[in-house]
Amino acid sequence: MRLETLEAAATWYVQLNDGAADLARARAWRQWLEASPEHAAAWARVEKLQQQWALVPAQAALKGLGAAQAQRRDVLKVLGLLLAMSGGSWLVAEQVPYRALLAQQRTGTGERRSLQLEDGSRLALNVNTALDVRFDTKLRTIQLYGGEVLISASRDLQQRPFIVHTQDGSIVAREAEFSVRKLPEQTRVGVLQAGVEVRSQHHLERPLQLQPGQQVSFDSDYIDTVQAVPADSTAWQHGMLSVNDWRLGDFIEELGRYRPGVLRCAPSIRALSISGAFRIDDTDIALANLDQTLPVRVRYLSRFWVSVEPA
């Protein structure tokens, strides 16, 4: 399906839900809808998406440039969600990261941020995180597109469940503290307080109950074996990376999340073991400490290109 067709469908959706009754507009939409099977398919995708989320809240029609800009933002938001529905399509996977770019809340490299939601729940966003928050009368929902978030879900007076969605599935809680990280091929959930329910995308009828101190990784088809939450797994919210007997290669990859540019580890030393606590707000200091404890050297090709090599 062509991008311009999806954008047209998104535009029609926003215009038809702006709160203004307009018979002429409705007729024009019907003509567009019936003009092509591709138009009908795009609109069917809009309707399917609307069943999952209230895409754009109805609002009184406004006039002027500000309203036009707001409408364009709404169109891009809906377009991004339409593209996200085809998670394996070339348009999303290979071309444009619409979901993360259009997210309500985002952090960049080296940036962490905390939010308090309208129900009193708190979110701590780790680096390179993108998510949307959607609350309505029945659900409290987080759509996590990438990155990592630590959630303290508060008790809700309306008894609404707190749900975190990723492309791999869903995590459902009531009042709990838990972390969710979107990995390249999986989602990882760790529970600190109370409990959550984990469901993979293609097997929603088979939930897994996760208890405090437990973590699990899952994809859209399979939930892995439950493991213990590593000590200090959320130390990043305090600016620390705490590791115990990690492979050096894994440590370098994790540290690379917190600095711009390229950070590489030579294959011959990736299996070396490392333990300790490192400040992620100054990764140069963390790197400088490596050659004090391991037979390695840190070579700066530039400020943004660093290689960890055998000594």
pLDDT digits (tens, 9 = 90+) for 209-251: 999 999 999 999 999 999 999 988 999 999 999 999 999 999 9
Q: What is the pLDDT of residue 60?
A: 40
Give the mean model confidence (pLDDT) for residues 75-81.
71
**Widest pairwise Cα distance in the chain:** 75
Q: What is the pLDDT of residue 4?
A: 74
Structural domains of the chain ordered from first start: 3-101 (no CATH), 105-228 (2.60.120.1440), 239-310 (3.55.50.30)
Q: Looking at the chain, how many residues does it have? A: 311
Q: What is the pLDDT of residue 25?
A: 80
Q: 102-111, 122-131, 284-293 — which is least confidently predicted?
A: 102-111
CA 241 to each of CA 154, 236, 238, 283, 299: distance values in angstroms, whole numbers, following the listed order: 27, 6, 9, 10, 21
Q: What is the pLDDT of residue 14?
A: 80
Q: What is the pLDDT of residue 65?
A: 46
Angle between helical axes of 283-293 and 248-256 (0-180°, round to 10): 170
Percent of the chain with pLDDT over 70: 82
- In the 8-state DSSP scheme, what is residue 81? H
Q: Is the pTM for the entire model greater than 0.75?
A: no
Q: 3-12, 141-150, 259-268, 271-280 — which is least confidently predicted?
A: 3-12
Give the mean model confidence (pLDDT) for residues 196-215.
92
Q: What is the pLDDT of residue 52?
A: 53
Highest mean pLDDT among 6-15, 106-115, 186-195: 186-195
Q: What is the pLDDT of residue 18?
A: 64
Measured at the CA of 139, the angle between CA 134 and CA 142, to 5 degrees, comes to 40
- What value does the mean pLDDT of the chain take? 84
CB atoms within 10 A of CB 299: 12
Taking 3-state DSSP, the helix, strand and coil percentages for the chain, each rounded to the nearest 5, stand at 30, 35, 35
- Reported as a pLDDT band with limits 50, 70 and 90, residue 256 is very high
Radius of gyration of the chain (CA): 23
Q: Which residue is listed with tokens 């990859």?
A: 253
CA 59 to each of CA 14, 25, 134: distance values in angstroms, whole numbers, following the listed order: 10, 17, 16
Distance CA 28, CA 26 (A): 5
Cβ contacts of residue 257 below 8 Å, gap of 6+? 109, 126, 127, 128
Tokens of 219: 């994809």
Distance CA 234, CA 241 (A): 8
* 8 A C-beta contact, residue 304 and residue 262: yes
- Reported as a pLDDT band with limits 50, 70 and 90, residue 126 is very high
Name the residue type at position 230: P
Q: Which residue is listed with tokens 């055998």?
A: 310
Distance CA 50, CA 9 (A): 12
Distance CA 214, CA 178 (A): 10
pLDDT tens sequence across 137-159: 889 999 999 999 999 999 999 88
Give the mean model confidence (pLDDT) for residues 64-87.
63
Percent of the chain with pLDDT over 90: 53
